[in-house]
Structure 1
Amino acid sequence: MSDHSFDGLSEKFAQNIYATSKGKIRTAVVWRDLEQGLAQLGDRPLRILDAGGGFGFFAQKLAALGHDVTLCDLSADMLALAKEQIAEKKLTDRIRLVHCSIQDLPVHVHGSFDLVLCHAVVEWLAEPKQTLAGLLNYLKPGGLFSLLFYNRDALLFQSLVVGNFDYIRAGLVKKRQQKLTPTNPQAPADVYKWLEEWGMPLLCRSGVRVIHDYMRHKEDQHKKFSDLLEMELRYCQQEPFVHLGRYMHLLASKP
């Protein structure tokens, strides 16, 4: 297994991930957590690293607040889309684009950061724990780590609910891999253990899409979206719902 690049899929990725009901929920939940983290870091310009950030959806939002962001990605197509959007928003002076993998960051990026983002990357990595451990070297003491990952437990639960038992017996591995379906989802318990090993206490954790994917009538994902979003934000940090999220978002601090 090798790390995944989204070359040739940038426009489809942007449309599927952020321009849909599930994407809007993801944005709302993660951004609320990030606002909590930004408040803890104080009212000052921050140095931020967005590792594997694609076209920089959150990088652009953070830069618009006055922060300096370094955005790296393995996909040249993603960075081309990022460059176009950044120019349109007049954020060129605030965002530095780096074309490289996370593992190759030391060749291109130096110094330390107040906030490191790694969103929806872990599930595409061949060696997720090792890669994240290296990434944390960029985090300042007192800095925050924002980690969003595809939740293996939620994938298993949804597969059980819909009766996809052959898929479960196959170890949640599909015979034909879809291009936008993550290949290496992680169990939250494993990720918690990693953070504990690294001495990274959690500031907050949220489930992303704790309701959306389980709705019996899929048309309600759109027809009742405002109510759905309200309920997602209400229950995403509560047990037992937090661990039903298709994605998990963790915000951890470096002592």
Structure 2
Amino acid sequence: MQDKNFDKLAGKFAKNIYGTLKGDIRAAVLWRDLQEVLPTDGRSLRVLDAGGGFGFFSQKLAALGHSVVLCDLSAEMLAEAQRQIDANPMKLDIQCVHSAIQDLSRDDLGEFDLILCHAVVEWLADAHGTMTGLLKLLKRDGLFSLMFYNQDAMCFHSLVAGNFGYVNSGFKAKRVKLSPNFPLTVPEVEAWCDGWQMDILCRSGVRVIHDYLKKGSLSTEYSDEGLIEMELKYSREDAFLRLGRYVHFIARRKD
């Protein structure tokens, strides 16, 4: 099975992932996590946003003064990124690179203080091998921000919806186009980090509540703003974290 290219789905992807409350939750959790590890002394980082689409976080980091290389396999995604960069009133230090992650080279791009790889690994046929290669571009004391699609949450969501046949089939039923091919578990990615000799500094669930809401019978106390507040509050509680549709790790190589 080949890795996913979002060229033909760029518009749908942008609308379904970033133009919704789901996207607002993702942005809130990941940006909270990243801000906690960014330098506070004004130092500029070299950042690689691998598989970053149209560069939501690339643009936010560049607006803080960091130098960013934005890479994606989709030319359509990068074209949209460039349009947004050009339209920004600030001059953003972002270099767009049209490339598969597997083809990125330290000889060509150098090393980075921070590498982002968000919602990419679940589309890769050889996720572990690809991430191992990507980490060759990370400085010895650099940070790795990895968000992955959580298989346990996918299973639980199917169970509470009564899709027992789908679960019993090992999730082999027909998938929709934006349903990832290779979901991962928290222990699996923790083992990867251990093998890479990396300490996990941050663990957060993304959408630990949203996907389980009883949408037809919400309390009058409900609001989207309140939901995001609760998502941030419970995203790091272990019981809730492991129900997050995605899980976000920030890791650093061990001394």
How does the TM-score come out when normalised to structure 1?
0.94
CA contact (8 A) 2:49 2:70 kept: yes
How well do the aligned residues superpose, as a CA RMSD in angstroms?
A: 1.9
Indicate yes or no: 2:21 matched with 1:21.
yes
Q: Decide which of 201, 210, 213 is 1:212's aligned counterpart.
A: 210
**Cα 1:74–1:107 shift into 2, 3 Å:** farther
Q: CA deviation at 1:89?
A: 0.8
Q: Secondary structure at the match of 2:215?
A: coil
Q: Secondary structure at the match of 2:57?
A: helix
Find runs of 4+ consecutive structure 1 residues off by over 6 angstroms.
none
Indicate yes or no: 2:137 matched with 1:138.
yes
CA contact (8 A) 2:106 2:137 kept: no
Q: Secondary structure at the match of 2:249?
A: strand
1:82 and 1:56 mapped to 2: Cα distance?
Answer: 6
Q: CA deviation at 1:157?
A: 0.8
Question: Aligned residue for 1:249?
Answer: 248
Question: Aligned residue for 1:232?
Answer: 231
Residues 74-223 of structure 1 correspond to what in structure 2 (within 5 A)? 74-90=73-89, 94-106=93-105, 109-175=108-174, 177-217=175-215, 220=218
1:27 and 1:121 mapped to 2: Cα distance?
Answer: 16
Please, which moves more after superposition, 226-235 or 105-114? 105-114
Q: CA deviation at 1:178?
A: 1.6
| Structure 1 residues without counterparts, runs of 5 or longer | none
| Structure 2 residues without counterparts, runs of 5 or longer | none
1:234-255 C-alpha deviation (Å, 9 max, x unpaired): 0000121111100000000123
2:173 and 2:75 mapped to 1: Cα distance?
Answer: 27
Q: Secondary structure at the match of 1:8?
A: helix
Q: CA deviation at 1:83?
A: 0.7
Q: Secondary structure at the match of 1:96?
A: strand
2:188 and 2:163 mapped to 1: Cα distance?
Answer: 24
1:219 and 1:12 mapped to 2: Cα distance?
Answer: 29
Question: Aligned residue for 1:73?
Answer: 72
Identity among equivalent pairs (%) = 54
Indicate yes or no: 2:53 matched with 1:36.
no
The residue type equivalent to 2:163 in the other structure is N
Q: CA deviation at 1:109?
A: 3.5
How does the TM-score come out when normalised to structure 2?
0.94
Residues paired across the two proteins, number = 253
1:4 and 1:152 mapped to 2: Cα distance?
Answer: 18
2:29 and 2:205 mapped to 1: Cα distance?
Answer: 8
The residue type equivalent to 2:210 in the other structure is H
Please, which moves more after superposition, 106-115 or 82-91? 106-115
CA contact (8 A) 2:3 2:124 kept: yes
1:207 and 1:135 mapped to 2: Cα distance?
Answer: 23
1:230 and 1:93 mapped to 2: Cα distance?
Answer: 30
**Cα 1:25–1:218 shift into 2, 3 Å:** farther
